[in-house]
Amino acid sequence: MSTAAPQAPAATKLSQLDALKKLTKVVADTGDFETMRDYKPQDATTNPSLILQAATKADYAYILDKVVADRKGSGLTGHAQVEDVIDHVLVAFGLEILKIVPGRVSTETDARLSFDTKGTIDKAHQLIALYEKAGISRDRVLIKIASTWEGIKAAEVLAKEGIHCNLTLLFSLTQAIACAEAKVQLISPFVGRILDWFKASTKKDYTPTEDPGVKSVTEIFNYYKKFGYKTEVMGASFRNKGEITELAGCDLLTISPNLLGELAASNDPLEKKLDSAAAQKLDLKQVHLDEKTFRYQLNDDAMATEKTAEGIRKFAADIVKLEQFIASKL
């Protein structure tokens, strides 16, 4: 009879996705519910492009059809009716997402309001009112607004009302500092779109450690942690898995379904790259921005100026397509 002690089963090696979840809040960058169920993110982000993709798929037609049927008796006509339906569609998708994720959903305002502070505030109030009418606390909703001066000022007002914002289309430390000083809840610096600009400009490829988008988010993260800003940093818009693993330790990362799949399929080791304690020891200079300084510095940064403008144009174009699609249903 053997007296050897039974051997413990070998420990299962964590996937990179599970390892990342121990360092960073993982957020799904999609309007697809099944992706969220598969990868179990903490939060989810949407934008007009993602909602347009989802709303035109047969799997999600029931959401749009129900909203259209419910709002046909609103008494509104023309553009006002289409706008009303879009607001309800955005919130309807958000409500379904909140049944899946334990945290928050980001719902975007109309990109055509990017230079309209009052219009952005009014739209945020409309969206939050719809969520609250459905029984959802405003703490579970982030209103997405472009990181223009007008958008940041709108977010500053909304923050004082307890409405949390996600400042998107952010490409520079200048935009990030203005957001932090406005005490906004969260920013979404775009990693991949920065890389796109530099690749087009320099005609060269970059490794993940050299990636200018990774460097930009690292710089913002370190600045925030050095000076104790509470605004959360959520890296976004990734082009490859390496960009994500280079930002392990960031507050949050919002990741598309295909890259979530790559992370889940990999067992390569994952190292913490961003660290709050280390950032506090850095020798950095604190900067304060007024409107004219913000506008000059942003204008002086060709990449940030061009990518912010391009992003607003693209999101606005997709809102127009969504309006046309909904108008055809009405």
Q: Which residues are tagged catalytic?
A: 144
Nearest CA to 101 out of 28, 16, 24, 15 is that of 28
* Torsion angle (degrees, nearest 10) of CA 19, 20, 23, 29: -150
State how far the Cα of 189 lies from the Cα of 173, in Å rounded to an integer: 9
Distance in angstroms (rounded) separating the CA atoms of residues 226 and 303: 25
Rounded to an integer, what distance in angstroms lies between the CA atom of residue 40 and that of residue 62? 23
Closest among 267, 254, 261, 270 to 217, alpha carbons compared: 254
Q: Of 72, 26, 148, 131, which Cα lies nearest the Cα of 326?
A: 72
Structure tokens at 282: 């850095």
- Between the two ends of the chain, the Cα-to-Cα distance in Å is 79
- Give me the amino acid identity at 8: A
Cα 122 from chain centre? 21
